[in-house]
Amino acid sequence: MTEALGLTSARWKVIGVIALSNSGLTVPGIARVLGQSRQAVQRITDVMVTDGLLSYQTNPKHKRSVLVVLTEEGKTAYQALRDVQDPWAIRNTEDIPIEDLDAGLRLVHRLIQKFDK
């Protein structure tokens, strides 16, 4: 799904997190949201900045830890992604009772919470 847009799943995740934030996130911040190491995120964002999807912005609250924001190209990619993914998600779930999906989601959350302990 991401391939047609020139993205990969890892970049998709990063774009998604940033798109849902208001004023940009630091690299370690993105890592915390994704539950990944900051080093892994750093590598991805560096490449994405090179590719023009993201840009680093001065962080008024921290001298070294810059904020990661979407460029116009990044925002376009995010929207293109949504235009593909949303219909896909609907297509694959529309014939399943909402109660079933909800119960499944609650079960998964419950298990995750147990595993984190």
Partner DNA sequence: CGACCTATGTCAGCATGTTGTCATTTGACA
Partner DNA sequence: TGTCAAATGACAACATGCTGACATAGGTCG
List C-alpha distances in Å: 39 to 6, 27, 45, 62.
Answer: 23, 9, 10, 18
The backbone region for 24, taken as left when phi is positive above 0, alpha when psi lies in -120 to 50, beta otherwise, is left
Neighbours of 48 (CB within 10 A): 24
Q: Which of 72, 112, 91, 78 lies closest to 6, judged by CA?
A: 78
From the CB of 63, what's the least distance to DNA, in Å? 2
Subset of 39-68 contacting DNA (CB under 7 A): 39-40, 42-44, 47, 61-66
Site string for a second copy, 63-102 (x = CB under 8 A): -----------------------------xx--x---xx-
Nearer to DNA, 61 or 114 (CB): 61
Please report whether residue 74 would count as binding DNA according to CB under 7 A: no
Stretch that binds a second copy, among 4-12, 44-52, 55-63, 104-112 (CB under 8 A): 104-112
Among a second copy, DNA, none, partner that 6 touches (CB below 5 to 8 angstroms by kind): none
Q: Is 67 in a helix, a strand, or coil? A: strand
Please report whether residue 109 would count as binding DNA according to CB under 7 A: no
From the CB of 79, what's the least distance to DNA, in Å? 20
Q: Is 91 in a helix, a strand, or coil? A: helix
